[in-house]
Amino acid sequence: MSKVLIIGAGGVGRVVTHKCAMTPDIFTDICLASRTKSKCDAIAAELNRKISTSAVDADNVPELVSLLKDYQPDLVINVALPYQDLTIMDACLEVGVNYLDTANYEPKDEAKFEYSWQWAYQERFKEAGLMALLGCGFDPGVTNIFTAYANKHHFDQIETLDILDCNAGDHGQHFATNFNPEINIREVTANGRFWENGEWKETAPLDVHRSFDFPEGIGPKDMYLMYHEEMESLVKNIPGVKRMRFWMTFGQQYLTHLRVLENIGMTRIDPIVYNGQEIIPLQFLKAVLPDPGSLGKSTQGRTCIGCIVDGHKNGERKHYYIYNICDHEQCFEEVNSQAVSYTTGVPAMIGAKMMLTGKWKGEGVFNVEEFDPDPFMEELNTNGLPWNEVFLDKKPDVLVD
């Protein structure tokens, strides 16, 4: 018997709750909690089994501690905002509960995300005999596990790694984000960073771009070099990589709207005074944009997220591509969500399953690539995210500098 507390009732929270509910032999008791209980109740009403729901302010450690003591879960799955990672980790430590999240911490007042704040909890979790699993979504998450799988089975040394995230879906809106608008826009407007020859190098936001021909009929899409958190842990845990980059696709309509919003100050995260009250422009913008959780019904097309790996095996040069294709409409039919939330929520459920069944275990703070990738890879194939792998004749020209 395993009791799990899911914190966060957005698009990803919906997927995690649905997928946990579909696995009653592992997740025998489920509680879904959020600041707004009605959101939890709406998700609970979609399920074929009964779960409990609760209101909790994830910024408030005493509130979190009270809920944890009352429910007594074996594991907390944190799919709330990245700002709330540390308060939830603090509550887990105080009560003695294992922890999992999908995105690393970033402070509200600075568009900067990195693992240092959470890695600093290593000794506290270790001393408490607890496990914290970080970044168990898709990217970060599955892309880390893809890399670990390639490293285990196909390479003696990985030399270059390119992570490619393509959303070829269309939601029919003039401008909308497929996950939390505030987090999405902070991420996209930040400087790009990549790892090369033992150091981080920085670029202007979305300054470097290429066109890549994505597989299985998706075709050519413009992709832009960005910084993404999985590179920070992969550089640490997959040593010897000479270059590591992250790329994400964007359509020109999205970029045009974003450029205008940025130029007029609507993406600012510092407070301004309006009618005698302080407001943060980006938070106001979030309030007027479509809720990503409402886009599932109208979104069509597919996502393609994967890794292109270059290196050596037994002295021979290898070029390898591993990826997943996910269909927006199929995701909505299964769990009332579009594929961006689905590709994050399913891995969170699988990671929780790895922890609760003891296939992944440890004391301290871990990133997913530190564990055996094989059982996780098997679960991807049976839980809606099948993967494909192919050896290439050469590295794609667009990734050769």
Confidence of residue 265 (pLDDT cuts 50, 70, 90): confident
- Region 339-344 average pLDDT: 95
Per the domain annotation, does 354 fall within a domain?
A: no
Same domain, yes or no: 120 and 176: no
Q: Residue 70 is part of a domain; what is its CATH number?
A: 3.40.50.720
Of 103, 134, 165, which residue sits at a domain end? 134
Same domain, yes or no: 70 and 193: no
Q: Residue 191 is part of a domain; what is its CATH number?
A: 3.30.360.10
The parent domain of residue 255 ranges over: 142-334+383-399
> pLDDT tens for residues 147-196?
999 999 999 999 999 999 999 977 767 676 766 677 777 788 889 999 99
Same domain, yes or no: 48 and 155: no
Same domain, yes or no: 250 and 391: yes
Same domain, yes or no: 166 and 226: yes
Same domain, yes or no: 34 and 114: yes
> Among 43-57, 258-272, 298-312, where is mean pLDDT lowest?
258-272
Per the domain annotation, does 176 fall within a domain?
A: yes
Q: What is the reported pTM?
A: 0.93
Same domain, yes or no: 392 and 243: yes
Number of domains composing the chain: 2
> Among 258-262, 301-305, 355-359, where is mean pLDDT lowest?
258-262
Per the domain annotation, does 342 fall within a domain?
A: no
Same domain, yes or no: 244 and 202: yes
Classified as helix, coil or strand, 59 is coil
Per the domain annotation, does 16 fall within a domain?
A: yes
- Region 338-364 average pLDDT: 97
Nearest C-alpha neighbor of 5 from the set 95, 130, 97: 97
> pLDDT tens for residues 120-156?
999 999 999 999 999 999 999 999 999 999 999 999 9
Orientation of helix 328-335 relative to helix 339-356, angle to 10°: 60
Strand order in the sheet with 52-55: 52-55, 29-34, 3-7, 75-78, 98-101, 131-134, 364-367
